[in-house]
């Protein structure tokens, strides 16, 4: 069977190839009569437009690219931990792209690479996307963002504020940590531990500040012995939990900066004779699917990862169609999902 091409549609409709391309791409400046003729020909012949045919109608590539950190992503895959954050990000962006007839590609670039700019420019040259979604820590790299803007590449910075440099799509991590800590204070906890995230990510510091804000508002003095470093991995969570729970006066609650480290706290607690939530309350960050299956299910801050990625893709698609979008922040709401891992402290 002969493959139906854009030229077959043009011949059937009695129009130029570029007219077919404009109709397929939803471009203006096509009369109603021509549009109807092309659409009837497309339906009659069963034509499915190729990416190359769509590009003929203008400068758009109908493609977006998301840049993710190579080292962190591959380490998670190789360790068997998976990448729930990336899964949710792709879910949101891909569905938005699909609804607009776009393609979504996922590229891994080492954020610490000495030739980061060259690698990113190579991706741009090869793929010519209509825009880039930068995820942390790439989205924190202002030098990278400036380089892309100088090249007139539309950029959305996911997970961090834009600060007037490109478009930022994020949640308020500081406010989220504040609300999570206040939840523990309202339950009656006074010794609240905190496990920090990796210093490579700006969200880690924002979450620490939110924790400290809540302590101050609740009239609780900061006790640095109740703070432990982590790097968003299960192993670092185990080490941090062991440090906190081995204190002479251990915390009665722990706020962990992501789900993996919170799950590690659940695993570590029995080694120290602690039950959750009877002796120890635990709150997590991100609310990825796995923590709902833990025992007990974890109380968590829900980060709207899929929604942020969807908004990022929507903004870039709009920019490719209508011109640059305003450089401002789009702050999406988080949620505190209360489950079985938090309760008042034991008497």
Q: 161-219 pLDDT, tens per residue?
A: 888 888 999 999 999 999 999 999 999 999 999 999 999 899 999 999 999 999 999 99
Grade residue 44 by pLDDT with cuts at 50, 70 and 90.
Answer: confident
Orientation of helix 32-45 relative to helix 17-24, angle to 10°: 90
Strands 103-109 and 253-256: unpaired
Closest among 101, 16, 6, 14 to 45, alpha carbons compared? 6
| Angle, alpha carbons 11-15-17 (nearest 5°) | 80
The answer to which of 15-24, 124-133, 328-337 has the lowest mean pLDDT is: 15-24
- Which domains, and CATH codes, for the chain? 6-55 (1.10.260.40), 63-171+305-333 (3.40.50.2300), 173-303 (3.40.50.2300)
pLDDT at 148 over 80: yes
What residues have CB less than 8 Å from 260, skipping those under 6 apart? 81, 232, 233, 234, 237
Distance (Å, whole) CA 42 – CA 53? 13
Give residue 241's pLDDT. 97
Q: Which comes out higher in pLDDT, residue 84 or 296?
A: 296
Mean per-residue pLDDT, 266-273:
96
Given the DSSP bridges, would you call strands 155-158 and 167-170 parallel, antiparallel or unpaired?
A: parallel
Q: What's the CA gap between 278 and 285, in Å, rounded? A: 21
Q: Is the pLDDT of residue 106 over 80?
A: yes
Higher pLDDT, 276 or 27: 276
CB-count burial class (<10 Å; 0-12, 13-18, 19+) for 177: buried
311 falls in which pLDDT band (50, 70, 90)? Answer: very high
**DSSP state string for 157-226:** EETS--TTSSEEEE--HHHHHHHHHHHHHHHT--SEEEE---TTSHHHHHHHHHHHHHHHHTTPPP-GGG
CA distance 165 to 155: 9
Give me the phi and psi of 104, to 5 degrees please: -120, 120
DSSP at 58: S
- Residues 6 and 24: their CA atoms lie apart, in Å, by 10
Q: What pLDDT was estimated at residue 113?
A: 85
pTM of the model: 0.80
Q: Rounded CA gap, 281 and 47, in Å?
A: 59
Q: Kindly indicate the confidence band of residue 112, based on its pLDDT and cuts at 50, 70 and 90.
A: confident
């Amino acid at each position: 069977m002969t493959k139906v091409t854009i030229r077959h549609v043009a011949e059937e409709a009695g129009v130029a190839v570029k007219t077919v391309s404009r109709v397929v791409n939803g471009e203006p400046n096509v009369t109603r009569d021509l549009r109807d003729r092309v659409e009837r020909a497309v339906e009659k012949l069963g034509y499915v437009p190729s990416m190359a045919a769509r590009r003929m109608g203008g400068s758009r590539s109908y493609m977006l690219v998301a840049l993710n950190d190579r080292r962190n992503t591959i380490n998670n895959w190789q360790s068997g931990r998976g990448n729930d954050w990336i899964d949710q990000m792709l879910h949101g962006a891909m569905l938005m792209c699909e609804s607009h007839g776009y393609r979504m590609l996922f590229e891994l670039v080492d954020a610490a690479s000495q030739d980061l700019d060259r690698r990113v420019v190579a991706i741009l040259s090869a793929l010519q996307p209509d825009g880039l979604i930068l995820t942390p820590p790439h989205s924190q790299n202002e030098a990278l963002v400036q380089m892309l803007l100088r090249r007139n590449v539309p950029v959305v910075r996911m997970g961090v504020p834009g600060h007037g440099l490109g478009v930022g799509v994020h949640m308020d991590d500081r406010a989220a940590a504040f609300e999570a800590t206040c939840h523990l204070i309202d339950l009656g906890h006074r010794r609240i531990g905190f496990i920090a995230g990796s210093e490579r990510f700006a969200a880690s510091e924002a979450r620490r500040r939110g924790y400290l804000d809540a302590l101050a508002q609740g009239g609780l003095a900061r006790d640095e012995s109740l703070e432990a470093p982590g790097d968003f991995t299960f192993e670092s969570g185990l080490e941090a939990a062991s440090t906190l729970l081995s204190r002479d006066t251990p915390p009665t609650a722990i706020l962990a900066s992501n789900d993996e480290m919170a799950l590690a706290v659940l695993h570590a607690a029995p080694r120290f004779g602690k039950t959750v939530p009877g002796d120890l309350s635990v709150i997590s960050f991100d609310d990825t699917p796995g923590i709902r299956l833990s025992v007990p299910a974890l109380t968590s801050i829900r980060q709207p990862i899929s929604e942020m990625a969807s908004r990022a893709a929507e903004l870039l698609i709009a920019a490719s169609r209508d011109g640059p979008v305003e450089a401002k922040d789009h702050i999406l709401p988080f949620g505190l999902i209360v489950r079985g891992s938090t309760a008042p402290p034991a008497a």
